[in-house]
Amino acid sequence: MGGGRPAAAPSLLVAPQWIGDAVMAQPLVALLAARGERVTALGLPGVAPVLRAMPGIERVIETPFAHGRLDLRSRRALARELRREAYARAYVLGNNLKSRLVPWLARIPLRVGWRGEAAGALLTHALQAPAEAARAGMQARQRGDMREHYAALAQELCSPGFGTGVPAAPVREVGQPLLRVDPASASAEARGFGLEPGFIALCPGAEYGPAKQWPAAHYAELAELAHAAGRRVVILGGPREREAAQAIREAAPRADATDLCGRTSMQQAIALLAAAGGVVSNDSGLMHVAAALGRPTVGLYGSTDPRHTPPAAHRSATLWLHLPCSPCFQRNCPLGHLNCLRALDPQWAWSALSELMAAAG
């Protein structure tokens, strides 16, 4: 018989429901993997492809739950399966009760997350958010970095020595989110859509609402600038972005942008972003994916705050005007003018992207 150390019990990561938030959880995954935890991630179908591209995750389980629904029968069935795998700990990244149900029903002994809904019910250890970011009835003007927020779950109470009297090693500096896609696979995916790697990807959508969306006319002007520089333009997004994509194409006929909105799976969209020469995007899940893939990425911020949800810093830049009314974190501009995005000049965005692409070689 071998004399090696016994295999560590697996850990379960309950991923956030939004793509951008899932990307920003990768530094937490890296910390867990670095100290020897074998991480299985639980995620919705739309988030699962992102988790599969995430270093540090050994296995991804897609959850069959409908968005916003309890689906108690399905959660119980999944929990019964997980119970047989003897998970030692669960990291719950959502703040609602539904996200905690499966680890609780699976009888995972250590369940760690943020207090959030119902003061951390169903968790064994609930972290308290800083008071200044959790004032009742108030929207904090500046929130903490989401990467640090998630990485805090890897602190001492979650360490391998927790409960044994063994001091935990301090968490090192939180790194940048990282996703990986095989370059050959990314190139093959691009060619499957009739594209050669190196195109400019525009991502005009944002699930949260219009207050995060740069005007289509600005994207059209940017498309013309890219075309004038000899770059092919591709528009990426879901079915909801088809209207914006059509508006961009109509306003920039010379660019002849390829509209792939609603025509790709999430896995294909990730591969296409990996094949892009540069990306310009609203503060959205696709922006975070592109930046974590190391692509030259310009993120456009209006109602949100790049200090709270910054793109990975490998080859990215953020454009934000710092208006007195921004960030408001609203779905629609409460003042009705959307100046925080309308005043972001397309030439500024193209110049920033051009600098990033030149630096990337």
pLDDT of residue 57: 98
Distance CA 94, CA 99 (A): 6
If you average pLDDT over residues 290-319, what whole number do you get? Answer: 95
Distance CA 274, CA 295 (A): 7
Separation of first and last alpha carbons in the chain: 52
From 25-39, 63-77, 232-246, the region with the lowest mean pLDDT: 63-77
pLDDT of 355 > 80? The answer is: yes
106, 68, 66: which is closest to 85 by C-alpha?
A: 106
pLDDT of residue 130: 57
Write the pLDDT tens digit of every residue in 84-116.
Answer: 999 999 999 998 999 999 999 999 999 999 988
pLDDT of residue 143: 62
pLDDT of residue 135: 40
Distance CA 301, CA 163 (A): 43
Distance CA 361, CA 354 (A): 11
250, 314, 248: which is closest to 282 by C-alpha?
A: 248
If you average pLDDT over residues 192-199, what whole number do you get? Answer: 98
176, 122, 121, 169: which is closest to 146 by C-alpha?
A: 176
pLDDT of 139 > 50? The answer is: no
Alpha helices by DSSP H, 276-345: 285-292, 339-342
Tokens representing 271 are 């591969």
Distance CA 25, CA 177 (A): 7
Under 8 Å CB-to-CB from 194, ≥6 apart: which residues?
A: 258
pLDDT of residue 163: 40
pLDDT of 165 > 80? The answer is: no
How far, in whole angstroms, is CA 75 from its chain's centroid? 24
Domains and CATH numbers, the chain: 11-158 (3.40.50.2000), 183-360 (3.40.50.2000)
289, 233, 274: which is closest to 46 by C-alpha?
A: 289
pLDDT of 40 > 80? The answer is: yes
If you average pLDDT over residues 262-278, what whole number do you get? Answer: 98
pLDDT of residue 141: 47
CA distances from 240 to 19, 208, 215, 328 (A): 16, 12, 15, 23
pLDDT of 152 > 70? The answer is: yes
Tokens representing 242 are 């088809």
Q: What is the mean pLDDT of the chain?
A: 89
SS3 state of residue 208: coil
From 41-50, 62-71, 135-144, 197-206, the region with the lowest mean pLDDT: 135-144
Q: Compute the chain's Rg from CA coordinates.
A: 21
pLDDT of 359 > 70? The answer is: yes
pTM of the predicted model, to two decimals? 0.91
Distance CA 76, CA 261 (A): 35
b/e sequence 115-137, b meaning 16+ C-beta within 10 Å: ebeeebebbbebbebeeeeeeee
